[in-house]
Amino acid sequence: MTLLDSAVWGGKLYSDGWQDSASVHPVVEPATGAQLGTVGLATEKDAHRAAARAAEAQRAWAATSPQARAAVLRRAGELFTEHAAEIEDWLVREAGSVRAKAGSEAQLAVGECFECASLPTHPQGEVLTTEEARWSLTRRRPAGVVSVIAPFNFPLILGLRSVAPALALGNAVLLKPDPRTAVTGGVVIARIFEEAGLPAGVLHLLPGDGAVGQAVVEAPEVRVISFTGSTPVGRAIGERAGRLLKRAHLELGGNNALVVLPGADVRKAASAGAFGSYLHQGQICMTTGRHIVHESLVEEYTAVLAAKARALPVGDPAREDVALGPIIDRRQLERVHGIVTESVAAGATLAAGGEISGACYRATVLSDVTTDMPAWREEVFGPVAPVIGFSTLEEAARIVDDCEFGLSVGILGDVGTAMKLADRIESGKVHINEQTVADEPNAPFGGVKASGTGSRFGGAAANVEAFTETQWVTVRPDIADYPF
Protein backbone atom coordinates (compact mmCIF):
# COMPACT_ATOMS: atom_id res chain seq x y z
CA MET A 1 0.00 0.00 0.00
CA THR A 2 1.28 3.46 -0.88
CA LEU A 3 1.25 6.34 1.59
CA LEU A 4 -1.63 8.02 -0.24
CA ASP A 5 -3.76 5.01 -1.14
CA SER A 6 -7.23 6.53 -1.46
CA ALA A 7 -8.74 3.43 0.17
CA VAL A 8 -7.42 4.87 3.45
CA TRP A 9 -8.52 8.49 3.18
CA GLY A 10 -11.03 8.76 0.34
CA GLY A 11 -14.16 10.57 1.53
CA LYS A 12 -12.95 10.55 5.15
CA LEU A 13 -11.74 12.87 7.89
CA TYR A 14 -8.73 12.19 10.09
CA SER A 15 -9.92 12.63 13.67
CA ASP A 16 -9.01 9.81 16.05
CA GLY A 17 -8.26 7.74 12.98
CA TRP A 18 -9.92 7.91 9.56
CA GLN A 19 -13.65 8.47 9.98
CA ASP A 20 -16.46 8.62 7.44
CA SER A 21 -17.67 12.16 6.80
CA ALA A 22 -21.19 13.44 6.24
CA SER A 23 -20.24 14.96 2.89
CA VAL A 24 -17.34 14.89 0.46
CA HIS A 25 -15.48 17.32 -1.79
CA PRO A 26 -14.02 16.41 -5.19
CA VAL A 27 -10.25 16.52 -5.63
CA VAL A 28 -9.85 18.27 -8.97
CA GLU A 29 -6.81 18.55 -11.22
CA PRO A 30 -6.72 22.25 -12.19
CA ALA A 31 -4.88 21.62 -15.46
CA THR A 32 -7.58 19.32 -16.86
CA GLY A 33 -10.62 19.51 -14.58
CA ALA A 34 -10.37 15.75 -14.04
CA GLN A 35 -11.47 14.38 -10.67
CA LEU A 36 -8.65 12.65 -8.79
CA GLY A 37 -10.73 11.46 -5.83
CA THR A 38 -12.77 12.81 -2.93
CA VAL A 39 -11.91 14.09 0.53
CA GLY A 40 -14.18 14.24 3.53
CA LEU A 41 -15.63 17.63 4.41
CA ALA A 42 -15.89 18.64 8.03
CA THR A 43 -18.85 20.39 9.66
CA GLU A 44 -18.87 22.87 12.52
CA LYS A 45 -19.95 20.00 14.78
CA ASP A 46 -16.94 17.96 13.62
CA ALA A 47 -14.64 20.88 14.42
CA HIS A 48 -15.96 21.34 17.93
CA ARG A 49 -15.84 17.60 18.59
CA ALA A 50 -12.24 17.49 17.35
CA ALA A 51 -11.26 20.46 19.54
CA ALA A 52 -12.58 18.72 22.65
CA ARG A 53 -10.77 15.50 21.77
CA ALA A 54 -7.59 17.39 20.95
CA ALA A 55 -7.60 19.10 24.34
CA GLU A 56 -7.87 15.71 26.02
CA ALA A 57 -5.11 14.11 23.93
CA GLN A 58 -2.82 17.14 24.26
CA ARG A 59 -2.31 16.64 27.98
CA ALA A 60 -0.84 13.19 27.48
CA TRP A 61 1.20 14.32 24.46
CA ALA A 62 2.69 17.25 26.40
CA ALA A 63 3.67 14.83 29.17
CA THR A 64 5.47 12.60 26.65
CA SER A 65 9.25 12.79 26.98
CA PRO A 66 11.05 15.31 24.76
CA GLN A 67 13.05 12.47 23.24
CA ALA A 68 9.87 10.61 22.25
CA ARG A 69 8.34 13.71 20.64
CA ALA A 70 11.60 14.38 18.80
CA ALA A 71 11.59 10.80 17.51
CA VAL A 72 8.15 11.29 15.95
CA LEU A 73 9.36 14.43 14.14
CA ARG A 74 12.52 12.68 12.93
CA ARG A 75 10.50 9.74 11.66
CA ALA A 76 8.15 12.14 9.86
CA GLY A 77 11.16 13.66 8.09
CA GLU A 78 12.33 10.20 7.06
CA LEU A 79 8.86 9.34 5.72
CA PHE A 80 8.74 12.54 3.69
CA THR A 81 12.04 11.44 2.16
CA GLU A 82 10.86 7.88 1.48
CA HIS A 83 7.60 9.01 -0.13
CA ALA A 84 8.91 12.14 -1.87
CA ALA A 85 8.14 10.95 -5.41
CA GLU A 86 4.54 10.08 -4.57
CA ILE A 87 4.01 13.39 -2.76
CA GLU A 88 5.55 15.34 -5.64
CA ASP A 89 3.18 13.66 -8.09
CA TRP A 90 0.22 14.82 -6.02
CA LEU A 91 1.61 18.36 -5.79
CA VAL A 92 1.89 18.44 -9.58
CA ARG A 93 -1.61 17.14 -10.20
CA GLU A 94 -3.65 18.66 -7.36
CA ALA A 95 -1.85 21.98 -6.85
CA GLY A 96 -0.76 22.57 -10.45
CA SER A 97 2.90 22.69 -9.46
CA VAL A 98 5.62 22.31 -12.04
CA ARG A 99 7.92 19.43 -11.21
CA ALA A 100 10.79 21.55 -9.85
CA LYS A 101 8.47 23.46 -7.50
CA ALA A 102 6.94 20.21 -6.28
CA GLY A 103 10.37 18.75 -5.57
CA SER A 104 11.43 21.86 -3.71
CA GLU A 105 8.29 21.83 -1.58
CA ALA A 106 8.72 18.17 -0.70
CA GLN A 107 12.32 18.80 0.36
CA LEU A 108 11.26 21.77 2.47
CA ALA A 109 8.91 19.40 4.30
CA VAL A 110 11.82 17.09 5.10
CA GLY A 111 13.88 20.00 6.41
CA GLU A 112 10.96 21.34 8.45
CA CYS A 113 10.51 18.06 10.30
CA PHE A 114 14.21 17.59 11.00
CA GLU A 115 14.53 21.20 12.16
CA CYS A 116 11.52 20.84 14.45
CA ALA A 117 12.87 17.59 15.89
CA SER A 118 15.31 19.76 17.86
CA LEU A 119 12.55 21.83 19.49
CA PRO A 120 11.55 19.38 22.26
CA THR A 121 15.08 19.57 23.70
CA HIS A 122 15.67 23.25 22.93
CA PRO A 123 16.22 25.46 26.04
CA GLN A 124 12.77 26.65 27.07
CA GLY A 125 13.28 29.06 29.91
CA GLU A 126 15.56 31.43 31.81
CA VAL A 127 16.91 31.83 35.32
CA LEU A 128 16.05 35.32 36.55
CA THR A 129 17.74 37.50 39.13
CA THR A 130 15.65 38.23 42.21
CA GLU A 131 15.96 40.25 45.42
CA GLU A 132 14.13 37.56 47.36
CA ALA A 133 15.68 34.50 49.01
CA ARG A 134 14.44 32.19 46.31
CA TRP A 135 15.06 30.88 42.84
CA SER A 136 13.20 32.71 40.08
CA LEU A 137 12.84 31.32 36.61
CA THR A 138 10.64 31.20 33.53
CA ARG A 139 9.66 28.17 31.55
CA ARG A 140 7.81 27.74 28.27
CA ARG A 141 4.74 25.53 28.39
CA PRO A 142 2.69 24.21 25.42
CA ALA A 143 -0.10 26.59 24.46
CA GLY A 144 -2.57 23.69 24.27
CA VAL A 145 -4.69 23.28 21.13
CA VAL A 146 -3.49 25.11 18.00
CA SER A 147 -5.64 25.69 14.91
CA VAL A 148 -3.73 25.82 11.62
CA ILE A 149 -5.52 27.28 8.60
CA ALA A 150 -3.47 26.85 5.42
CA PRO A 151 -3.80 28.03 1.77
CA PHE A 152 -3.71 26.30 -1.62
CA ASN A 153 -0.52 27.63 -3.20
CA PHE A 154 2.24 25.80 -1.28
CA PRO A 155 -0.25 23.55 0.50
CA LEU A 156 2.18 21.09 2.05
CA ILE A 157 4.81 23.39 3.49
CA LEU A 158 2.48 26.25 4.49
CA GLY A 159 0.50 23.87 6.66
CA LEU A 160 3.43 21.82 7.90
CA ARG A 161 5.48 24.83 9.03
CA SER A 162 2.90 25.38 11.79
CA VAL A 163 1.84 21.78 12.37
CA ALA A 164 5.36 20.41 12.90
CA PRO A 165 6.61 22.96 15.49
CA ALA A 166 3.28 22.99 17.31
CA LEU A 167 3.39 19.20 17.68
CA ALA A 168 7.08 19.18 18.60
CA LEU A 169 6.43 21.61 21.44
CA GLY A 170 3.67 19.48 22.94
CA ASN A 171 0.50 20.94 21.43
CA ALA A 172 -2.42 19.27 19.70
CA VAL A 173 -3.42 20.58 16.27
CA LEU A 174 -6.59 21.16 14.27
CA LEU A 175 -5.54 21.45 10.62
CA LYS A 176 -7.91 23.09 8.15
CA PRO A 177 -6.45 23.02 4.63
CA ASP A 178 -7.96 24.74 1.62
CA PRO A 179 -10.47 22.22 0.19
CA ARG A 180 -8.94 22.74 -3.28
CA THR A 181 -5.68 21.17 -2.05
CA ALA A 182 -6.90 19.04 0.82
CA VAL A 183 -4.75 16.04 -0.16
CA THR A 184 -1.37 17.76 -0.40
CA GLY A 185 -2.28 20.28 2.31
CA GLY A 186 -3.92 17.83 4.69
CA VAL A 187 -4.05 14.14 3.88
CA VAL A 188 -0.30 13.98 3.26
CA ILE A 189 0.46 15.54 6.66
CA ALA A 190 -2.05 13.35 8.48
CA ARG A 191 -0.76 10.16 6.86
CA ILE A 192 2.88 11.05 7.53
CA PHE A 193 2.31 11.67 11.23
CA GLU A 194 0.03 8.66 11.52
CA GLU A 195 2.81 6.46 10.15
CA ALA A 196 5.41 8.28 12.27
CA GLY A 197 3.66 7.17 15.48
CA LEU A 198 1.86 10.33 16.59
CA PRO A 199 -0.74 9.27 19.18
CA ALA A 200 -4.40 9.29 18.17
CA GLY A 201 -6.31 12.49 18.86
CA VAL A 202 -3.31 14.82 18.74
CA LEU A 203 -3.76 15.85 15.07
CA HIS A 204 -7.14 16.37 13.38
CA LEU A 205 -7.72 17.05 9.67
CA LEU A 206 -10.76 19.27 9.01
CA PRO A 207 -11.19 20.44 5.40
CA GLY A 208 -14.22 22.66 5.12
CA ASP A 209 -15.80 25.99 4.29
CA GLY A 210 -15.71 29.32 6.09
CA ALA A 211 -18.04 28.06 8.81
CA VAL A 212 -15.52 25.35 9.69
CA GLY A 213 -12.78 27.96 9.67
CA GLN A 214 -14.80 30.05 12.10
CA ALA A 215 -15.35 27.00 14.30
CA VAL A 216 -11.65 26.19 14.59
CA VAL A 217 -11.06 29.81 15.61
CA GLU A 218 -13.90 30.02 18.12
CA ALA A 219 -13.74 26.57 19.75
CA PRO A 220 -13.05 27.30 23.43
CA GLU A 221 -10.27 24.71 23.64
CA VAL A 222 -8.22 26.50 20.96
CA ARG A 223 -5.63 28.93 22.34
CA VAL A 224 -3.57 29.81 19.25
CA ILE A 225 -4.57 30.29 15.62
CA SER A 226 -1.92 30.11 12.90
CA PHE A 227 -3.33 31.45 9.63
CA THR A 228 -1.71 31.81 6.21
CA GLY A 229 -3.83 33.41 3.52
CA SER A 230 -5.34 36.63 2.27
CA THR A 231 -5.20 39.89 4.17
CA PRO A 232 -9.01 40.40 4.32
CA VAL A 233 -9.58 36.95 5.83
CA GLY A 234 -6.60 37.44 8.15
CA ARG A 235 -8.05 40.71 9.43
CA ALA A 236 -11.34 38.98 10.21
CA ILE A 237 -9.58 36.14 12.05
CA GLY A 238 -7.41 38.61 13.98
CA GLU A 239 -10.44 40.64 15.03
CA ARG A 240 -12.33 37.57 16.20
CA ALA A 241 -9.31 36.16 18.01
CA GLY A 242 -8.78 39.48 19.75
CA ARG A 243 -12.32 39.52 21.08
CA LEU A 244 -11.83 35.95 22.33
CA LEU A 245 -8.41 36.82 23.87
CA LYS A 246 -6.65 34.27 21.72
CA ARG A 247 -3.33 34.68 19.94
CA ALA A 248 -3.47 34.82 16.16
CA HIS A 249 -0.33 34.50 14.06
CA LEU A 250 -1.16 35.92 10.65
CA GLU A 251 0.98 35.49 7.52
CA LEU A 252 -0.92 37.41 4.87
CA GLY A 253 -0.52 38.95 1.43
CA GLY A 254 2.35 40.64 -0.32
CA ASN A 255 3.11 42.87 -3.27
CA ASN A 256 6.84 42.48 -3.20
CA ALA A 257 9.37 44.77 -4.84
CA LEU A 258 12.50 43.87 -6.78
CA VAL A 259 14.81 46.88 -7.08
CA VAL A 260 17.41 46.87 -9.86
CA LEU A 261 20.17 49.35 -9.03
CA PRO A 262 22.26 51.29 -11.58
CA GLY A 263 25.15 49.22 -12.88
CA ALA A 264 23.46 45.87 -12.22
CA ASP A 265 23.99 43.03 -14.70
CA VAL A 266 20.76 43.33 -16.67
CA ARG A 267 20.59 39.75 -17.91
CA LYS A 268 21.15 38.30 -14.44
CA ALA A 269 18.71 40.80 -12.99
CA ALA A 270 16.04 39.89 -15.53
CA SER A 271 16.61 36.19 -14.81
CA ALA A 272 16.08 36.86 -11.10
CA GLY A 273 13.02 38.93 -11.88
CA ALA A 274 11.51 36.23 -14.09
CA PHE A 275 12.00 33.58 -11.42
CA GLY A 276 10.50 35.83 -8.75
CA SER A 277 7.43 36.67 -10.82
CA TYR A 278 6.72 33.37 -12.59
CA LEU A 279 7.57 30.61 -10.12
CA HIS A 280 4.37 28.65 -9.49
CA GLN A 281 2.52 31.00 -11.83
CA GLY A 282 3.05 33.89 -9.42
CA GLN A 283 0.78 32.23 -6.84
CA ILE A 284 3.11 32.90 -3.90
CA CYS A 285 2.84 35.52 -1.19
CA MET A 286 6.54 36.33 -1.82
CA THR A 287 6.14 36.67 -5.60
CA THR A 288 7.92 39.63 -7.20
CA GLY A 289 4.91 41.81 -7.93
CA ARG A 290 6.69 45.11 -8.65
CA HIS A 291 9.88 45.60 -10.68
CA ILE A 292 11.53 48.92 -9.80
CA VAL A 293 14.41 49.51 -12.22
CA HIS A 294 16.87 52.39 -12.48
CA GLU A 295 16.06 54.65 -15.41
CA SER A 296 19.41 53.88 -17.05
CA LEU A 297 18.45 50.18 -17.29
CA VAL A 298 14.68 50.10 -17.44
CA GLU A 299 14.30 49.87 -21.22
CA GLU A 300 16.86 47.08 -21.61
CA TYR A 301 15.62 45.24 -18.52
CA THR A 302 12.03 45.29 -19.79
CA ALA A 303 13.09 43.96 -23.18
CA VAL A 304 15.15 41.11 -21.70
CA LEU A 305 12.43 40.21 -19.19
CA ALA A 306 9.80 40.21 -21.95
CA ALA A 307 11.94 37.93 -24.10
CA LYS A 308 12.28 35.50 -21.21
CA ALA A 309 8.53 35.64 -20.57
CA ARG A 310 7.69 34.86 -24.20
CA ALA A 311 10.03 31.85 -24.14
CA LEU A 312 8.47 30.21 -21.06
CA PRO A 313 6.17 27.30 -22.00
CA VAL A 314 2.85 26.88 -20.20
CA GLY A 315 0.70 23.77 -19.90
CA ASP A 316 -0.11 20.69 -17.86
CA PRO A 317 2.93 19.92 -15.67
CA ALA A 318 1.83 16.31 -15.21
CA ARG A 319 2.12 15.63 -18.94
CA GLU A 320 4.47 18.28 -20.34
CA ASP A 321 7.82 19.83 -19.50
CA VAL A 322 6.60 23.36 -18.78
CA ALA A 323 7.74 26.38 -16.79
CA LEU A 324 4.25 27.52 -15.78
CA GLY A 325 1.35 25.28 -14.87
CA PRO A 326 -2.34 26.10 -14.38
CA ILE A 327 -3.86 28.83 -12.25
CA ILE A 328 -5.63 27.15 -9.33
CA ASP A 329 -9.16 27.68 -10.70
CA ARG A 330 -11.12 29.56 -13.35
CA ARG A 331 -12.20 32.31 -11.02
CA GLN A 332 -8.62 33.23 -10.17
CA LEU A 333 -7.56 32.91 -13.81
CA GLU A 334 -10.19 35.42 -14.87
CA ARG A 335 -9.25 37.74 -12.00
CA VAL A 336 -5.61 37.82 -13.15
CA HIS A 337 -6.64 38.53 -16.73
CA GLY A 338 -9.02 41.23 -15.57
CA ILE A 339 -6.26 43.05 -13.68
CA VAL A 340 -3.98 42.94 -16.73
CA THR A 341 -6.74 44.08 -19.08
CA GLU A 342 -7.75 46.94 -16.81
CA SER A 343 -4.13 48.10 -16.48
CA VAL A 344 -3.62 48.05 -20.25
CA ALA A 345 -6.82 50.03 -20.68
CA ALA A 346 -5.38 52.57 -18.22
CA GLY A 347 -2.26 53.03 -20.38
CA ALA A 348 0.13 50.19 -19.58
CA THR A 349 1.93 48.53 -22.51
CA LEU A 350 1.73 44.77 -22.86
CA ALA A 351 5.36 43.79 -23.53
CA ALA A 352 4.68 40.06 -23.25
CA GLY A 353 1.89 37.65 -22.37
CA GLY A 354 -1.50 38.88 -21.28
CA GLU A 355 -3.20 35.77 -22.65
CA ILE A 356 -5.23 32.92 -21.22
CA SER A 357 -4.06 29.54 -22.52
CA GLY A 358 -6.49 26.84 -21.42
CA ALA A 359 -6.23 26.71 -17.64
CA CYS A 360 -2.98 28.70 -17.71
CA TYR A 361 -1.93 32.33 -17.98
CA ARG A 362 1.10 33.21 -20.02
CA ALA A 363 4.02 34.96 -18.35
CA THR A 364 3.25 38.65 -18.63
CA VAL A 365 5.32 41.84 -18.62
CA LEU A 366 3.78 45.32 -18.40
CA SER A 367 5.73 48.50 -19.16
CA ASP A 368 4.69 52.16 -19.06
CA VAL A 369 3.09 51.38 -15.73
CA THR A 370 1.99 54.02 -13.23
CA THR A 371 1.64 53.45 -9.51
CA ASP A 372 -2.14 53.85 -9.53
CA MET A 373 -2.76 50.94 -11.92
CA PRO A 374 -4.29 47.75 -10.48
CA ALA A 375 -1.39 45.58 -11.70
CA TRP A 376 0.87 47.73 -9.52
CA ARG A 377 -1.36 48.36 -6.51
CA GLU A 378 -2.93 44.92 -6.03
CA GLU A 379 -1.58 41.53 -5.10
CA VAL A 380 -2.25 39.87 -8.46
CA PHE A 381 -1.42 36.25 -7.47
CA GLY A 382 -0.61 35.46 -11.08
CA PRO A 383 2.41 35.55 -13.43
CA VAL A 384 2.42 39.31 -14.02
CA ALA A 385 5.52 41.52 -13.90
CA PRO A 386 4.83 45.29 -14.02
CA VAL A 387 7.96 47.43 -14.51
CA ILE A 388 8.53 51.04 -13.44
CA GLY A 389 11.64 53.25 -13.44
CA PHE A 390 13.31 55.33 -10.73
CA SER A 391 16.06 57.95 -10.72
CA THR A 392 17.39 58.27 -7.14
CA LEU A 393 17.76 55.98 -4.16
CA GLU A 394 15.31 58.17 -2.26
CA GLU A 395 12.74 57.69 -4.99
CA ALA A 396 13.30 53.92 -5.01
CA ALA A 397 12.75 53.76 -1.23
CA ARG A 398 9.58 55.81 -1.55
CA ILE A 399 8.20 53.57 -4.29
CA VAL A 400 9.01 50.39 -2.32
CA ASP A 401 7.23 51.67 0.79
CA ASP A 402 4.28 53.16 -1.08
CA CYS A 403 2.43 49.89 -0.63
CA GLU A 404 0.12 48.48 2.01
CA PHE A 405 2.19 45.30 2.21
CA GLY A 406 5.64 44.67 3.66
CA LEU A 407 6.69 41.05 3.23
CA SER A 408 9.76 40.66 0.98
CA VAL A 409 12.10 42.90 -1.01
CA GLY A 410 14.92 41.94 -3.36
CA ILE A 411 17.68 44.40 -4.24
CA LEU A 412 20.02 43.66 -7.16
CA GLY A 413 23.34 45.41 -7.79
CA ASP A 414 26.02 47.14 -5.75
CA VAL A 415 25.97 45.73 -2.21
CA GLY A 416 26.86 48.98 -0.46
CA THR A 417 24.05 50.85 -2.20
CA ALA A 418 21.70 47.95 -1.52
CA MET A 419 22.53 48.09 2.20
CA LYS A 420 21.70 51.79 2.29
CA LEU A 421 18.36 51.12 0.60
CA ALA A 422 17.60 48.20 2.92
CA ASP A 423 18.00 50.51 5.93
CA ARG A 424 15.32 52.85 4.52
CA ILE A 425 12.50 50.44 3.76
CA GLU A 426 9.89 48.50 5.71
CA SER A 427 9.90 44.78 5.00
CA GLY A 428 9.88 41.54 6.95
CA LYS A 429 12.58 40.15 4.65
CA VAL A 430 15.30 41.75 2.52
CA HIS A 431 17.36 39.75 0.02
CA ILE A 432 20.37 41.46 -1.54
CA ASN A 433 21.34 40.10 -4.96
CA GLU A 434 18.46 37.64 -4.80
CA GLN A 435 14.85 37.83 -5.90
CA THR A 436 11.96 37.94 -3.40
CA VAL A 437 11.01 34.26 -3.05
CA ALA A 438 13.01 32.44 -0.37
CA ASP A 439 12.19 30.19 2.57
CA GLU A 440 14.26 27.96 4.85
CA PRO A 441 13.07 25.99 7.90
CA ASN A 442 15.56 27.63 10.27
CA ALA A 443 14.97 31.22 9.09
CA PRO A 444 12.29 33.54 10.51
CA PHE A 445 9.46 34.25 8.10
CA GLY A 446 6.87 37.02 8.29
CA GLY A 447 5.89 40.47 7.17
CA VAL A 448 4.88 43.88 8.43
CA LYS A 449 1.99 46.22 7.66
CA ALA A 450 -0.81 44.38 5.80
CA SER A 451 1.47 41.37 5.29
CA GLY A 452 0.86 40.10 8.79
CA THR A 453 1.93 40.08 12.41
CA GLY A 454 5.66 39.54 11.97
CA SER A 455 7.90 36.49 12.04
CA ARG A 456 5.97 33.65 13.66
CA PHE A 457 7.36 30.85 11.52
CA GLY A 458 10.85 29.45 11.08
CA GLY A 459 13.70 28.98 13.54
CA ALA A 460 13.61 27.95 17.17
CA ALA A 461 13.05 31.42 18.61
CA ALA A 462 10.02 32.19 16.43
CA ASN A 463 8.48 28.74 16.89
CA VAL A 464 8.88 28.66 20.66
CA GLU A 465 7.40 32.15 20.88
CA ALA A 466 4.50 31.18 18.60
CA PHE A 467 3.39 27.92 20.14
CA THR A 468 4.15 28.13 23.86
CA GLU A 469 3.17 30.26 26.84
CA THR A 470 5.60 31.72 29.38
CA GLN A 471 5.19 30.67 32.99
CA TRP A 472 7.00 32.33 35.93
CA VAL A 473 8.14 29.90 38.63
CA THR A 474 9.69 30.68 42.03
CA VAL A 475 11.12 28.25 44.59
CA ARG A 476 12.11 28.86 48.26
CA PRO A 477 13.89 26.43 50.57
CA ASP A 478 11.18 26.97 53.24
CA ILE A 479 7.77 28.58 53.47
CA ALA A 480 8.21 32.34 53.49
CA ASP A 481 7.32 34.53 56.48
CA TYR A 482 4.44 36.92 55.83
CA PRO A 483 3.15 39.88 57.92
CA PHE A 484 -0.42 38.59 58.26
Q: Could you tell me which of 229, 181, 228, 209 has the C-alpha nearest to residue 328?
A: 181
Same domain? For 278 and 171 the reply is no
Sign of the C-alpha dihedral, residues 430, 435, 439, 440? negative
Provide the domain limits for residue 301.
256-432
Task: Give the per-residue pLDDT at 1.
Answer: 63
CB atoms within 10 A of CB 457: 24
Residue 178: strand, helix, or coil: coil
Same domain? For 112 and 260 the reply is no
Backbone angles phi, psi at 137, to 5 degrees: -150, 165
Give dist(CA 79, CA 371) in Å, integer.
47
| Residue 366: CATH number of its domain | 3.40.309.10
Same domain? For 226 and 291 the reply is no
Same domain? For 314 and 229 the reply is no
Contacts of 312 by beta carbon, 8 Å cutoff, 6+ apart: 274, 278, 323, 324, 362, 363
Domain count for the chain = 2
Task: Give the per-residue pLDDT at 457.
Answer: 84
Q: Give Cα separations from 188 to 22, 88, 175, 236, 333 (angstroms).
A: 21, 11, 12, 28, 27
Q: Is residue 141 part of a domain?
A: yes
pTM greater than 0.85: yes
Task: Give the per-residue pLDDT at 292.
Answer: 98
Same domain? For 103 and 53 the reply is yes
Same domain? For 297 and 156 the reply is no
Helix or strand run (H / E) with residue 248: strand 247-251
Q: Is residue 446 part of a domain?
A: no
Same domain? For 339 and 199 the reply is no
CB atoms within 10 A of CB 49: 17
Q: Is residue 208 part of a domain?
A: yes
For 11-55, strand residue ranges (E) read: 12-14, 18-20, 23-28, 35-41
Residue 229 zone, left/alpha/beta (φ > 0; ψ -120 to 50; rest): left
Give the CB-side neighbour count of residue 456, counting CA atoms within 13 A. Answer: 25
Q: Which amino acid is at 199?
A: P
Active site residue 113: no
Q: Which residues of the chain have pLDDT under 50?
A: none
Q: Is residue 438 part of a domain?
A: no
Same domain? For 120 and 61 the reply is yes
State how far Cα 49 lies from the chain centre. 27
- DSSP letter, residue 179: G
Same domain? For 247 and 260 the reply is no
Active site residue 131: no
Same domain? For 104 and 201 the reply is yes
Same domain? For 134 and 266 the reply is no
Residue-wise pLDDT for 394-408, tens only, equals: 999 999 999 999 999
Q: Is residue 440 part of a domain?
A: no
Q: Is residue 403 part of a domain?
A: yes
Catalytic residue among 251, 360, 379, 403: 251
Give dist(CA 84, CA 245) in Å, integer.
40
Q: Give Cα separations from 376 to 129, 348, 388 (angstroms).
A: 53, 10, 9
> Nearest-5° angle of CA 189, CA 107, CA 468?
55
Q: Is residue 437 part of a domain?
A: no
Give dist(CA 87, CA 106) in Å, integer.
7
Q: Is residue 219 part of a domain?
A: yes
Catalytic residue among 285, 360, 379, 403: 285
Same domain? For 338 and 469 the reply is no
The DSSP annotation for 341-366 comes to HHHHHTT-EEEE---EETTEE--EEE
Task: Give the per-residue pLDDT at 4.
Answer: 96
| Residue 458: CATH number of its domain | 3.40.605.10
State how far Cα 1 lies from the chain centre. 30
Task: Give the per-residue pLDDT at 177.
Answer: 98
